[in-house]
Chain A
């Protein structure tokens, strides 16, 4: 797709950034062909800009050479968003990793996109503040990636996704123009382009600086672990809790399969014979927390909980959370490969949808482990398989598709927090009409990014893109790959 000689592209980029910050040899490029999905595609060149001006220069050079631009942070995305499917310039933002300001008075942080999510939390903590979005990959994922994917996490239930915590952005647009959107103070007048940029998966621009809202750490926090005989009972406990007027800050479900995988490895204290476990957190003023915890406990018992444990000590709470945060990865050790889904359904549909997920998996002959944000109705079925078995990968993808159908039919959506990326582009047609999609394409056209800025992501179609259907990708699956 690229015109002009790649040699001059590399030379121009080296001129802008210095040779040390431009990679172009095959043995260097190969480690920039992936994110945390199965998708693989080599960039033509990888650049490590250190400033907004350098990012703009890279975008400008790519524009001049008419090659795609794809932004990348730590490469932990779960939808193929950072995979340069049409080659081009991969803009890696890990060098832009400075926390520029943490202002406790205004409860605001200003960061570069390469800052690690947890690093910001650690910087805010001594001031009694926190950055609320906490994806499970927070030890490694970058704020830029969080913004691109509008990342969630267990605490989204109460605190909302990334978009609710982004006040302002500095963005390099596809035409290399640098703009500032939003303001340090919320609800800036004017059209909210900030809200549009968040979650646009790097297709509308590259964020080079973000002003983020910090929230005060709550005076009291309690984590409860409720043990159930079945996922259905646990799902009912979620609705029962909310019916009783309490919205915990997190309600995380682990099913039996995942408990049996995680517990021996992490030793978080989940009973091995549990049918399902709910990890619930409440926070606020001490009296309120005690009351909310009592309501949660009663709701769980009413829904048939076998046992409800409560932890207030930070170390105990951390241990309970440890198992949750390491769960997805632990599946990697339990099966040769697995396919992680990210569907979302109305919370009240959880019991029936989960029953269908399990039935479909059984019928297809695969083990399926579930660990997910029950309070948000955000499912993460993990289908375990051995790619060495005949047609296994193909059958897994079919099963994944069937599960996503169930989610959509239940009034849900195809991604709650991982993003559409490359993987789920074709499913967009299940959720949106051609007119809906035309409006989204129109946004892309308005930003001048069509086919050049992170091409073949989010929206179906696009010049030079495969149709994006998982089934068509499957022949390229690497053996043993995690999907």
Chain B
């Protein structure tokens, strides 16, 4: 049974995540997104309402899926389709996730961890849990099948259609019936109820009837058995007679075949051991199925959680009228966006941020310069977040977004605490750069934010120039925000074709619009504005 809601042809595996995903999360402020996705949101006029406590599994799942990029537009499109279907059939998504979650929680309660320990299967207490687990799997699968039957016709995505078809095929009605019959046969041992008693509530007793063939194995032990008949006889409860009647005695004595009457406690214990072995043997037949169910539901829990988390983010965005779109792929040296906003900040402030639009074609290097507090870093982050969301098949917060796919995605942001001018800091910065370089390859994008500013302007510019030049020449896409004027000016002066320049816009009166406009790099800090203001007066 395959879930395949994240990939068309495989289940989830975390191999191939971004190198140093910790930095990517930290630099782009993605924790805010993960947190926001953990809370169930309701569409509401005006205020956002959280209706449940945080489900941390959602945030954790979103984090893991987001940190592993897809590599082709085909893969991205696969997830986008499913997401569209899910968002249009909200109730389906809710139930799907709820079933998977509920099952996993009950499974934990039944002692998932204990059952996984080696040798645990031999303990009869776990045998009971296993039978109950089988009940749980079968019942949940039945519910899932019903859910799919209900919604199937409304789906358009390959992923969900395939999911429904696969479920129907792998868990056929015939098979369902067979498992249910076997479970019925062994109700003498355990039924599917949470609590049960041997005698039941209504004066009925459950009794086993087992017929088996046996060989002998070494040491005169009863050897391999084969089962002929197993069933549970449901008899009206009747007080066991303490004395055998004459007739019974006679039947034993003159019985055609040797018969053992279980008359003391030791023999009774042995008998229940024998019954346990029979149950174990029967379960053995369903173990491959249970194993499959186990991984199916673990996968389903995880994979549906991704869409569920996205849905929470989506609703929350809707509530502040955030414009979203499903991005499209374009060539590696292009980057086009309209009204692109910084999603994380929007979630954090619950307010609509300023959007940016631009179409940067045939450029491998983008240099963003401009005044402090002008929104440069926010802009770079918005690009980074959109890129990461795009690459994992999510929607992005823009009217339109087109970019290449860069499975090797790196961020190199100056850490605030690093800003002291000190060779130790530079050492650390270069070390991080070195680490990034080690992991570069085809399809790489590097976001540099105020990098190499921990040394003098002159030195920093030289270092930045060398590194950026080498990276771009090697085919790495570089987006950089920089304060290093000599660096930016030098590149501008060379009039290279594949470099784009954006400036944080500053009105003639010095006020900031937080918009990025094309233009020659010009570094005017807040301090200079102030200085000029003062001198002019």
Are A and B associated in one complex?
no
Where the two chains meet, the residues of A that have a C-beta atom closer than 8 Å to any C-beta of B are none
